[in-house]
């Protein structure tokens, strides 16, 4: 009887101790993907490039192209790590740089990269969202939950399509 109880215990442990992540193995992207967004005709065009490595690192650059200009201005850049399991995407930033809010004026032109200042949010460096890859990994749809607590709509633009450029 003791052997049956022991056998049933071991079997129950083996069946219920499997990690849920085993169902969705990690997916690693390689290359640079770009997305463009224009709120309305006649407004600046915003774009973002995400460069992924197979080791789980990511480099993100954000740009703006002003109205009546062909010059793409770097507005921020960030580095960090990412995780993709199924469609669950997690991004943890380790550094982030943007314009100095006290000195930035878009009408004056582009801010040189070396003048961007650290703006990493250390209280919440991880963002969780959904990343849906196409069949051949040439593009994906990336969306985050909208947390528009300040009314800025900065992360409430909805899911964005990124297309592979490199």
Question: For the chain, which residues make up each domain, given as ranges?
Answer: 23-164
Q: Are 61 and 36 in contact (CB under 8 A)?
A: no
Residue in 77, 79, 75 with CA at minimum distance from that of residue 95: 79
E strand intervals along 2-159: 31-38, 45-52, 57-65, 72-85, 88-98, 117-118, 126-133, 139-144
CATH fold of 23-164, please? Lipocalin (2.40.128)
Instruction: Render 68-92 in DSSP notation, one character per residue.
Output: T--PEEEEEEEEEEEEEETTEEEEE
Tens of pLDDT, residue by residue over 63-104, are 998 888 888 999 999 999 999 999 999 999 999 999 887 776
Band (149; pLDDT cuts 50, 70, 90): low
92 to each of 33, 81, 82, 96, 97, how far by Cα in Å? 18, 5, 6, 11, 14
Q: Are 152 and 139 in contact (CB under 8 A)?
A: no
Read off the tokens for 138: 């040439």
What pLDDT does 70 receive?
A: 85
pLDDT above 90 covers a percentage of the chain that reads 44
Record the pTM. 0.77
What pLDDT does 147 receive?
A: 63
Question: For the residues 117-137, what does the mean pLDDT come to?
Answer: 88
């Amino acid at each position: 009887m003791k052997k049956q109880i022991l056998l049933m215990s071991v079997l129950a442990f083996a069946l219920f101790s499997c990690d849920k992540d085993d169902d969705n193995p990690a997916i690693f992207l390689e290359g640079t993907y770009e997305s463009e967004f224009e709120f309305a005709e006649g407004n600046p065009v915003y774009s973002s490039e995400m460069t992924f490595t197979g080791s789980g690192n990511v480099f993100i650059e954000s740009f703006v192209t002003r109205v009546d200009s062909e010059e793409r201005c770097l507005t921020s850049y960030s580095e960090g790590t990412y995780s993709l399991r199924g469609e669950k995407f997690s991004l943890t930033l380790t550094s982030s740089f943007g314009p100095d809010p006290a000195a930035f004026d878009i009408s004056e032109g582009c801010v040189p990269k070396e003048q961007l200042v650290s703006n990493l949010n250390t209280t919440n460096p991880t963002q969780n969202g959904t990343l849906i890859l196409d069949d051949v990994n040439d593009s994906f749809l990336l969306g985050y939950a909208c947390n528009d607590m300040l009314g800025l709509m900065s992360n409430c633009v909805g899911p964005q399509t990124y297309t592979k450029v490199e």
